[in-house]
Amino acid sequence: MHGSIHVVQVFVLGYFLVVDAVDNHFFTDLWAVHIQGGEEIARTVASRNDFVYMGQIMPDYYHFQHRKVAKRSVFASNHYHKSLAEDSEVLWVEQQVAKSRKKRSIHFNDPKWPIMWYL
């Protein structure tokens, strides 16, 4: 009886891991960070937490990268995210997610479109 319960638990856990991977959420090695105080403080925060300062996104928002994190991963890098979020200078932080782009087909609803010779 106990063996079948463990099999069901493993199956359910595996199912949720696969469903999470199918949702196309690929976490990157990049973070957007909100830090007040300017570029020097942002550079200091990045080096203090083993991140690479990549530049400014907008005023007080900066782009960080961590070299020990995979460029694309199904799982978020919680350890690095937590260390950055707990820094006293950081007001907001978010690990960036890769988005897939899909081309959509165009459907014309003009019935005379095929006979417009001058286009």
Q: What is the pLDDT of residues 68-106, one digit of tens each?
A: 888 888 888 898 999 999 999 999 999 999 988 887 777
The C-alpha atoms of residue 31 and residue 64 are separated, in whole angstroms, by 5
**Predicted confidence (pLDDT) per residue in 24-63, tens digit:** 689 999 999 999 999 999 999 999 999 999 999 999 999 9
Phi, psi of 73 (to 5 degrees): -145, 145
Tell me the residue ranges of DSSP E strands in the chain. Answer: 26-35, 52-58, 61-65, 72-73, 90-98
Three-state SS at 96: strand
Domains and CATH numbers, the chain: 25-98 (3.30.70.850)
User: Does pTM top 0.75 for this prediction?
Assistant: no
**Predicted confidence (pLDDT) per residue in 6-28, tens digit:** 555 555 555 555 444 445 689 99
